[in-house]
Amino acid sequence: MSLEKSDKATILVVDDNPTNLQLLLDYLNELNFQTLIARSGEGALKQAAFANPDIILLDIMMPGMDGFETCRRLKADEATCHIPVIFMTALSDTEDKIKGFDMGAVDYITKPFNQKEVLARLNSQLTIQRQNRELAELNAMKDKFLSIVAQDLKHVFRTMIGPSKRLAESFDIFSKKEIEFIAQRLHRSSLDTMHLLEQVMTWADIQRDIVPFDPERIDLYESVSEAVVSFREDANRKNIELSHAVTPETWVEADAAMLRAVLNNLLSNAIKYTRSGGRVIISGETDGAAETVIVTDNGIGMSDKILRSLFRIDTTYKKPGVTGKEGAHLGLVISKEFVEKNGGSIHVESELDKGTAVRFTVPKPAIG
């Protein structure tokens, strides 16, 4: 059992016995821990509040303020209550151990020290700390994500409620052309809602690792051609030139459903954020063992700030000039997951008011 050098955890050792301190410090330093020293309970309180160590190794039998009282005060202080305390003791009485746990300690190390035991208990607490941090981050990300999705749903339903209310309350005063226009808006909003829910469900399935993965030999030309055809109507509606320049019989090895989802997500974004009269093109490049697909538009582009957070599920971005609304950009997050699942990578280059190019790689079929 060993500790990775990159961990560099800080341990506060509290003991009034110089011999015990030196033995333990030498061992901890060999293991690449950063160490702090306190010779008394009072010193431990000051050091812990100032340095915020990862773990406190606390001797019980000290003159003046003993380990029990020191631990109690550490746990009563909001600034130090989160720091795990491991008692160091020669006491073997069960009541003493129970008292230590009642004061807030998480574990015991028995004197004389066994080096493997010390390391095992430290690593155990550091692992728990890391898992707690990761869990807290995941919960925060989940809460932010749900908030973003709720905002998106609220926006979509607002676009449906207004027109549907006017239609319901004043049906008889609208012309056939006006009714057709409102019906088209409602239909488009319904499609947006369904698309958002599908994206949320796909993302949830990815997190649970239940998305089927079945890579096969695919002609990239055919996949790109199908994607272009499926978005032709959307492009025509905005007077956007949509085309591709992928060579026939460009073979790749990928999951067909995932590749289709990536192409659809990227084309949807490109068309959404390209102004009327613009253009969107899909091209390809051969690079060693992979094919690179590039979706390029001359749309509104993105700032560096947006680019840095583009693939984070817990962030929103606003692109003024086309939709003006914030979104969870789930399509890009899902695309990154699918591209990497297939052994590729994805990269975005963009410049405000000039356009965006999204590049992703797809492995070629193995030879032989």
Boundaries of every domain in the chain = 10-113, 216-368
Helix (H) / strand (E) containing 346 = strand 346-351
Q: Are 350 and 357 in contact (CB under 8 A)?
A: yes
pLDDT at 52: 92
DSSP 163-191: HHHHHHHSGGGS-HHHHHHHHHHHHHHHH
**What are phi and psi for residue 294, nearest 5 degrees?**
-120, 120
pLDDT at 338: 94
Cβ atoms within 10 A of the Cβ of 192, count? Answer: 16
Q: How far apart are CA 362 and CA 368, in angstroms?
A: 18
Among 29-33, 55-59, 89-93, top mean pLDDT goes to: 55-59
Summarised one tens digit per residue, pLDDT across range 266-301 is: 999 899 899 999 999 999 998 888 999 999 999 999
CATH superfamily of 10-113: Response regulator (3.40.50.2300)
Q: How far apart are CA 14 and CA 114, in angstroms?
A: 17
Q: Are 71 and 104 in contact (CB under 8 A)?
A: yes
3-state secondary structure 99-134: HHHHHCCCEEEECCCCHHHHHHHHHHHHHHHHHHHH
Provide mean pLDDT across the span 346-354.
Answer: 93
Q: Both tokens of residue 322?
A: 């086309």
Summarised one tens digit per residue, pLDDT across range 135-186 is: 887 777 777 677 767 777 777 787 788 888 888 887 778 888 888 888 888 8
Summarised one tens digit per residue, pLDDT across range 318-340 is: 554 454 444 446 788 889 999 99
Closest CA to 362 of 308, 290, 261, 277: 290
Q: How far apart are CA 178 and CA 163, in angstroms?
A: 11
SS3 55: strand
Question: What pLDDT band is residue 195 in, cutting at 50, 70 and 90?
Answer: confident
Q: Is the confidence at residue 315, as pLDDT, over 70? A: no
Summarised one tens digit per residue, pLDDT across range 9-25 is: 899 999 988 877 788 88
Q: Is 195 exposed, middle or buried (0-12, 13-18, 19+ CB in 10 A)?
A: middle
Provide mean pLDDT across the span 54-62.
Answer: 90
Neighbouring-strand partners of residue 284:
293
Give the residue, 158 or 347, on which the prediction is more confident.
347
Indicate yes or no: pTM above 0.85: no
Please name the fold of domain 216-368. Answer: Heat Shock Protein 90 (3.30.565)
Provide mean pLDDT across the span 351-361.
Answer: 94
Percentage of residues in the chain having pLDDT higher than 90: 43
Average pLDDT across the chain, whole number: 85
Q: How far apart are CA 135 and CA 103, in angstroms?
A: 25
Cα 127 from chain centroid? 20
Percentage of residues in the chain having pLDDT higher than 70: 91
The structure tokens 């707690």 sit at 132
Question: What pLDDT band is residue 7 in, cutting at 50, 70 and 90?
Answer: low
Q: Is the confidence at residue 208, as pLDDT, over 60? A: yes
pLDDT at 76: 93
Provide mean pLDDT across the span 84-97.
Answer: 80
Q: Are 87 and 113 in contact (CB under 8 A)?
A: no
